[in-house]
Amino acid sequence: MQLSKSEEELMNHLWKLEKAFMRDLLEAYPEPKPAPTTVATLIKRMSDKGFVAYTLFGKSREYYPLVKKKAYFSKHVNGLIKNFFNDSASQFASFFTKETNLTKAELEQLKALIDQEIKNKPQ
């Protein structure tokens, strides 16, 4: 299951806050802030999709994420690799390194990460 752009924006605020009441979520948005009813609708849809739950404190709901940001992003990237790069991580890596205007220093950092992963993999 995937989130819409608006839901992802709200989810990013919730991941950052970890737990939040409606007023906290509204405060997290930059100006112009969305209407409270808009945020309530988004949070309801996200709850229905299994991304968000809440704890009741009287009449107030404290929302918290059910899905970790890393897990969501990982699934998103793996779907991208599968759907746009013929399920080939090397095709994705080639595209990423050539099309994102990385600096030489960023490419060297990426190479160091890859070298470390190679070193950690069992033979």
Model pTM above 0.85: no
Which amino acid, one-letter code, is at 61? R
Q: Where are the domains of the chain?
A: 5-65, 85-120
What is the amino acid identity at position 43?
I
DSSP letter at 105 equals H
Q: Which two tokens stand for residue 117?
A: 């992963």
- Give the three-state DSSP class for 111: helix
Strands (E), 1-112: 52-57, 60-65
> Is the distance from CB of 70 to CB of 78 less than 8 angstroms?
no
Q: In this predicted structure, what is the pLDDT of residue 45?
A: 96
pLDDT in tens, 95-111: 888 888 889 999 999 88
**Digit-coded pLDDT (tens) for 23-72:** 999 999 999 999 999 999 999 999 999 999 999 999 999 999 999 999 99
**What pLDDT does residue 100 have?**
87
The set of residues, in sequence order, having a beta carbon less than 8 Å from that of 38 and lying 6+ positions away, is 6
Choose which CATH entry (3.40.50.1100, 3.30.1380.10, 1.10.10.10, 1.20.930.40) describes domain 5-65: 1.10.10.10
